[in-house]
Structure 1
Amino acid sequence: MFEVLIVDDDHNFRETLRELLSDAGYLTRIATNAEEGIALLQTTTPNLTLCDWKMPGGGGEQFLKSLQSEGLLTTMPVIILTAHGTGPNAMQAMQLGAYDFITKPLDIDLALATVARAIRHMELQREVELLRQQRFRDRSLKNLNESEEESKPQLIGNSPAWIEVFKNIGRVAATDVGVLLLGESGTGKEVVARAIHQNSARSRRSLIILNCAALPPELLESELFGHERGAFTGAMAQKRGKFEAADGGTIFLDEIGELPLSLQPKLLRVLQEHTFERVGGTASIHADVRVIAATNRPLEDDVEQKTFRADLFYRLNAFTVRLPPLRERQSDILPLAEYFLARYAQRNQLALTGLTADAIVALQNYSFPGNVRELEHLIERAAVKAGGRAITAEQIQEELAKEKGAGPGVFDTQAAVALPFHDAVASWERHLINLALKASHGNKSDAARRLGIHRRLLYEKLTQFGLV
């Protein structure tokens, strides 16, 4: 029979959990704080521990650190149960080696299923994990103080879908494997890439960011790998590429699906051998770089259509993090809006304002097809209109009406002709771009082809209209 250790300072919660686990067929032991739980482990070896995160006399952080220093987390999973279900707590718990992170009040079925899954997982992996025990014992951990935390990327939100992102960052950041970020445009892929880098052993070195769709193919190779003097017309001097600049650090390749097929073998070689040549050069250059890539479309389709190499896809896809759209994290809309509002006030040296109750309802009832980026732009425009006063539902609705009017539906000609000439032209351009993006399912290269314009011009327009 499997034994579970419960570490929690709440007597009623402990006894309720003990009864639930006993009814499910588990033996249980009880501790009221981390120190007591650690002491119990000197004389007993439970199969799993359920531990509260915040407790007098030592909480989950202390418990996890102690177990990890002894190499025990490889054979005994710890599930954190807490009423302090914030994203940073979830990320820190996962970095410290927790098996999972569940918020209170408990979903009983979820908690029992997680316990069963953890025990089953550990039983299957026990022999392998024992062999790797020394590696985990020597692994260094980061403890972020407040000043360090302020410099971290702002991953705002505590919805279940977003906490999964925190947990995945916690799992992968300390490793050196490549990461593929999947998600719609505007879901925060660059912010997550920054969080992975800044919580990794490479954080003291550079994070280099490049959007693969923002440059024409003939310039992209030089931007990535550099060039020698005279390599092509206009190459007046030697230039270091992004991979050289990122040596020892991380490179984030956004819109990786837009990477031309002709450049994919060179990127694959960098991933496999950590070497490349500058454009026009013959000397091999070594670069120790971790690659984080991102895409807003399924690369598997590109592999099937032979526009993206299968071997490169599998190399990039060592670890996948899916970023949920904002419509799947409705409870995060308010904290995100408040964060953007506070940041706007700070940047513009204005008094901090707020959102009325009906404005909050208006935000939460909108689906945000442009995701977090759309919310950010909407809040900034509403803040300008509010003029330092509280933002009302009327102001939010006015901005949302503009968003909907600029969407890929029917173009409002009557409204357009009432605008100044240049504003009317911009309104029509935005309408056409939205239609093309909808028809191409967000693929910007395909949208540019449909519009008959260069991809770079499309990006300039997207930036102009606040659609990137």
Structure 2
Amino acid sequence: MPRLLIVDDEKSLCQMLEIAFRKDGFSVETVSNGTQAQRKMESQHYDVIVSDIRMPDLTGIELLDYAKRIGQPAAFVLITAVPTMPTAIQALNLGAYRYVIKTDTLVEELKVVVARALEDLALREENTRLRREMLRVFAGHNIIGQSKPMASILEMVRTIAPTTSTVLITGDSGTGKELIARAIHEASGRREKAFVSINCGAFPETLLESELFGYLKGAFTGADSNKKGIIESANSGTLFLDEIGETSLSMQVKLLRVLQERMVRPLGGTMDVPVDVRLIASTNRDLRKMVEAREFREDFYYRMSVIHVHVPPLRERPADLEPLARHFLGKFALQMGKGLRDFEPGALSAILTHTWPGNVRELENAVERAVAVSAEHETLVRLGNLPETVAVPASGATKAEPLPEDGLDFERRISEVERAYLLKALKAAQGVRTRAAELLHISYRSFRHYAKKHGV
């Protein structure tokens, strides 16, 4: 039964409206002044509130403003016998559902307006339900996990998806930060629009700027045509900036302007282009420490991290290991046409005891490799088909070398280890630096920093 609150200092009008709406199946309450209406709104929710504008203690406009401030979800309909254009504009700007003039047909007009308000309310509730269902479907196919941390993250996604606030997703490489960003997009009102992502650490600064903001013909050497930037391409949708911690201070200034002014200016252009994008960013770095070290702008950090979502590493959510492994097994067995249905006990034990420094991405690659090298007739993934790093525990791999009696130069030793790993990664990658960065689980920008630091 819809709940209706009528507020008017004319008691005869209140009684007439109460009788009319009760006949139509409404639960109706009436009050004769704004103060009484405030008390009612504080104690319960209504579907529709119908209020006169001119009353002795509070105006209908003031009551509307109060309803919005306390989060009263009702559709607010204002009625008046003395209509003025400024009042009507003010009412609609404050969020009034309708502005109705008192005439001989007031009851009939209000019945139509209230019916439409209830229809709109039902549509909003249906949209909320559909957003939750879309998230459930997306998460069911893409975000696998039974641990409490993942359940908490998905609940957070459900809560923040309908908003337009910027989101910062943090976590180690390979934890699935982009999947969380996509889940937010899919559960939002922007899901029918574009989800555009870019890895900020994969481009030199000048190229990143042209990719993000676009450019006009002749803006620089090689710009032989106009190109729309990624930010503009994401208009009305969601922009996902991966590896935001790899951006330079000057780039952060430009992105801060986009967040503040909702405008972009292509390279070589003189006119700003308005954009409506929801920004989601991610990083595997500690931005707070970078702010303290003046490597990341404080104003940009706070503007970007209105909502913070942290994705814990796989080693901190062991309950997700087996469901993820079985998900990847089914996925790759289907793709490769293999008859694999499960893991042999030794293989599953190895998966559950491995620390997975590369997180979900490493687990996915390990299962893909195991499926690829399995024979056509096999139905169980054998221990020997898993990568050696998983199948054979690296005993002592994490143990430090004995400390000499007279101590050691810690910073020099760490520097030697860093340089040695850089050289080993380059050798394994046959000199391809982007691949070497992948092997070390760092961004290409970080790799260049370490290479320059150690003269590699």
Question: If the TM-score is normalised by the length of the shorter chain, which range does it land in?
Answer: 0.5 to 0.7
For residue 259 of structure 2, the aligned residue among 271, 276, 292 is: 271
- 2:365 equivalent to 1:365: no
Structure 1 residues 263 and 408: alpha-carbon distance in aligned structure 2, compared to 1, 3 A threshold:
farther
> CA offset at residue 166 of structure 1?
0.8
Shift of 1:399: 4.9
What are the equivalent positions in structure 2 for 1:318-329 lying under 5 Å apart? Answer: 318-329=306-317
Q: Which residue of 2 aligns with 1:242?
A: 230
Structure 1 vs Structure 2 CA RMSD: 3.9
What is the distance in 1 between the residues matched to 2:439 and 2:322? 31
Q: Shift of the alpha carbon at 1:264?
A: 1.3
Aligned-pair CA distance for 1:427: 6.6
Percent of aligned pairs sharing the same letter? 36
Is 1:354–2:334 an aligned residue pair? no
CA distance in 2, matches of 1:190, 1:435: 17
Residue 219 (1) aligns with residue 159 (2): no
- The DSSP-based 3-state class of the residue aligned with 1:210 is strand
* Residue number in structure 1 paired with 2:112: none
- 1:446 corresponds to which residue? 446
Deviation readout 1:116-161 (Å, 9 max, x if unpaired): xxxxxxxxxxx99843534996563133669992697611001011
What runs of 5+ residues in structure 1 fail to find an aligned partner?
A: 1-41, 43-66, 72-126, 411-421, 459-468
Q: TM-score, normalised by structure 1?
A: 0.61
Indicate the SS of the match to 2:128. coil
What do the CA deviations read for 1:323-360 (whole angstroms, capped 9, x no partner)? 01000110111110111111112222333432122221
Q: Closer, same or farther in 2 for the Cα pair 1:287/1:403, shift >3 Å?
A: farther
Matched, 1:283 2:271: yes
SS at match of 1:174: coil
1:302 maps to: 290
Determine helix, strand or coil for the equivalent of 1:192.
helix
In the alignment, what sits opposite 2:71?
131
Question: What are the residue-to-residue correspondences of 1:80-229 with 2, within 5 Å?
Answer: 130-134=70-74, 138=124, 140-143=127-130, 149=137, 154-229=142-217
CA distance in 2, matches of 1:69, 1:377: 54
What displacement does 1:403 show? 9.5
Hey, what does 1:426 align to over in structure 2? 428
1:228·1:280 contact (CA, 8 Å) conserved in 2?
Answer: yes
Kindly state the Cα deviation for residue 362 of structure 1 after the two structures are TM-superposed: 1.2
Task: Give secondary structure in 2 for the equivalent of 1:294.
Answer: strand
Q: Which residue of 1 aligns with 2:87?
A: none
Which position in structure 1 is the counterpart of 2:300? 312
1:271 corresponds to which letter in structure 2? L
AA in 2 matched with 1:367: T
Aligned CA distance change for structure 1 residues 266 and 335 (closer, same or farther; 3 Å): same
The residue number in structure 1 matching 2:63 is: none
Q: Where does residue 379 of structure 1 map in the other structure?
A: 367
Q: Distance in 2 between matches of 1:232 and 1:409?
A: 53
Which residue of 2 is the match for residue 74 of structure 1?
A: none
One-letter amino acid of the counterpart of residue 224, structure 1 = L
Aligned twin of 2:386: 396
Alignment partner of 2:228: what SS?
coil
3-state SS in 2 of match to 1:141 = helix
Is the Cα–Cα contact under 8 Å of residues 381 and 399 in structure 1 kept in the other structure?
A: no
Change (3 A) 1:286 1:342: same
Q: Cα–Cα, structure 1 residues 213 and 424, in superposed 2: closer, same or farther, change >3 Å?
A: closer
Match status 1:292 vs 2:280 = yes
Q: Distance in 2 between matches of 1:332 and 1:224?
A: 36
Equivalenced residues, count: 321
2:327 aligned to which of 339, 344, 369: 339
Question: What whole-Å deviation, never above 9, does each CA across 1:3-49 have from its counterpart, x for those lacking one?
Answer: xxxxxxxxxxxxxxxxxxxxxxxxxxxxxxxxxxxxxxx9xxxxxxx
Q: Return the alpha-carbon distance in structure 2 between the equivalents of residues 68 and 368 of structure 1.
A: 50
| Alpha-carbon distance, 1:165 to partner | 1.0
Q: 1:370 to 1:450 in 2, by over 3 A?
A: same
Give the conservation status (yes or no) of the 8 Å contact 2:232–2:275: yes
8 Å CA contact 1:153–1:195 kept in 2: the answer is no
The residue type paired with residue 361 of structure 1 is S
Runs (5+) with no aligned partner, structure 2 = 1-26, 28-43, 49-66, 76-119, 401-423
In structure 2, the CA distance between the partners of 1:339 and 1:261, relative to structure 1 (3 Å rule), is: same
Whichever residue aligns with residue 129 of structure 2, its letter is: K
- Secondary structure at the counterpart of residue 181 of structure 1: strand
In structure 1, distance between residues paired with 2:260 and 2:135 = 37
> Does the C-alpha gap of structure 1 residues 425 and 176 become closer, same or farther in structure 2, counting only changes over 3 Å?
same
Deviations 1:186-209 (A, max 9, x none): 000011111110110000000001
Secondary structure, aligned partner of 2:168 = strand
When residues 408 and 285 of structure 1 are mapped into structure 2, their CA distance, relative to the original with a 3 A threshold, is farther
How far 1:269 sits from its partner (Å)?
1.2
Residue 445 of structure 1, CA deviation:
2.7
